Amino acid sequence: MTPDTRSRLPNTRFVPLAWRNLLASKRRFARSVAGIGFAVLLMLVQLGFERGFFDASLGMVRELDGDLFIMRATKYRFGSEDPFPARDLEPARKIAGVAGIVPLYASWERFFWKDPTGNNAYLVQVFAFDPDHPVFLLPELQAQSERLKQADAVIVDRRARRFLGMASGARETEINGRIVQIVGDYALGPDFMSNGTVMMSERSFAGFLSGNPANVARLPVEFGIIKLRPGAEAPAVQQALRAALPDEVRVLTKPELVAFERDFQADLSSAGPIFWMGTIVGFVVGMLISYQVIYTDLSDQLAQYATLKGMGYGNGYLVGVVFQQAAFSAVAAFVPAWLLCLVVYRVIGELALLPLHMTLSQTVISFGLTLGMCLVSASLAIRRVIAVDPAEIF
């Protein structure tokens, strides 16, 4: 080979031996990427479902427009009915730093929504408030809240489960057999506990529960939403409220309320452990696949490792090459699996109406698991290389 010919060839001097081994057989490389990538995709989907579950369950809590929140002390989660008398809110109005307090009424067990395009009725969650003081941050809801002053008017979530028909464009339906007017909609989405959400005025809520819209003052309250005056410090006002209010209620800041709901979902519901168990299963499956792939690769390349051993390379060098090859396999499988998962998130998110998004933490955790399972598999399979005897091979 002439010097001119060698100069035209790609310089492979600095290409790691592990990478060359990995690409020695394109078919074997594709098989390795597909097998390990499947396990990576499984883990990413499970991690995405776990985060989507929490994001959906916390969606309504995060949309509450308040600085402090009063609720019954025995309430164990946001979506449980545990109201308290409205009179318990009165002492809060006299506390320095409180700009205003708005009662929020809610029900998760007593309102049945009739599909406007069919004859089936489904349980929905309902929130009611004073239309002059909207208690949610949703811009669409705030812009349309004045319409709730009409008798038996409701605003619905157009991203609710499709079988509810809230996005059908209908202007009228029934709740608990009573005709209501659909005067607007907003976009939020369901969670794992409820299929859809209906907003109404406190007068309409009283009409459904007591038959008389004027009985608002008698309604028990689910939450007291407190806004603070400019300059007021939330911790100080919170302490003053705790001292002034009955022991039957508790006062939480918004971060505490979000943490309260997250802790329930993480510790007491079964959803979190189920998704993490799925992630562990994906890790174990991936480790088995990567072990088989790495073991097969080492078996096919055993003569090469024996040659290196015969040339004087020690086990330390050979072990390093195998671990590098495992690390390259992890990266090569992770990238296409990560890209494919973006598509899976989008499709499942549209079909299941769940907030599935790729985040930095999911990427870091899943890549760490991918790298870990490949390195663990390599440590199990590497004995084949350590034990090889050049004399036996040749």
* Size of the chain in residues: 394
The 3-class secondary structure across 242-304, one letter per residue, is HHHCCCCEEEEEHHHHHHHHHHHHHHHCCHHHHHHHHHHHHHHHHHHHHHHHHHHHHHHCHHH
pLDDT score for 318? 81
End of a domain among 186, 216, 247? 247
Both tokens assigned to 223: 């939450």
Both tokens assigned to 88: 């318990």
How many Cβ atoms sit within 10 Å of the Cβ of residue 167?
16
On whether residue 1 sits in a domain, the answer given is no
pLDDT score for 232? 92
On whether residue 63 sits in a domain, the answer given is no
pTM, entire model: 0.77
Q: Quick one: 102 and 232 in the same domain?
A: yes
What total number of domains does the chain contain? Answer: 2
Q: Quick one: 181 and 108 in the same domain?
A: yes
Burial level of 46, CB count in 10 A (0-12/13-18/19+)? buried
Q: Quick one: 89 and 236 in the same domain?
A: yes
pLDDT score for 12? 41
On whether residue 22 sits in a domain, the answer given is yes
- Quickly list DSSP for 170-200: -SEEEETTEEEEEEEEE-----SS-S-EEEE
Q: What is the pLDDT along the chain (394 residues), one digit of tens a residue?
A: 444 444 443 444 445 777 777 777 788 788 888 888 998 998 999 888 888 888 888 889 999 999 999 999 999 999 999 999 999 999 999 999 999 999 999 999 999 999 998 889 999 999 999 999 999 999 999 999 999 999 999 999 999 999 999 998 899 999 999 999 999 999 998 887 889 999 999 999 999 998 888 889 889 999 999 999 999 999 999 999 999 999 999 999 999 999 999 888 877 666 667 777 888 888 888 888 888 888 887 877 777 777 777 777 777 888 888 888 889 889 999 999 999 999 999 998 888 788 888 999 999 999 999 999 999 988 888 887 777 766 655 5
pLDDT score for 7? 43
User: What are the angstrom distances between the C-alpha of 257 and each of 65, 67, 202?
Assistant: 12, 10, 23
Both tokens assigned to 167: 């996005």
Q: Quick one: 319 and 184 in the same domain?
A: no
Q: How far apart are CA 181 and CA 31, in angstroms?
A: 58
List the domain range (segments joined by +) for residue 194. Answer: 85-247
On whether residue 252 sits in a domain, the answer given is no
pLDDT score for 378? 87
**Residues in Cβ contact with 343 at an 8 Å cutoff, skipping those fewer than 6 apart:** none
End of a domain among 205, 232, 247? 247
Both tokens assigned to 35: 């097998």
Q: Quick one: 111 and 204 in the same domain?
A: yes
**Residues in Cβ contact with 253 at an 8 Å cutoff, skipping those fewer than 6 apart:** 67, 68, 69, 234, 235, 238
pLDDT score for 8? 45
Q: Quick one: 384 and 309 in the same domain?
A: yes
On whether residue 126 sits in a domain, the answer given is yes
At residue 147, the 3 state secondary structure works out as helix
On whether residue 232 sits in a domain, the answer given is yes
Q: Quick one: 358 and 211 in the same domain?
A: no
pLDDT score for 61? 93
Q: Using an 8 Å Cβ cutoff, are 68 and 268 in contact?
A: no
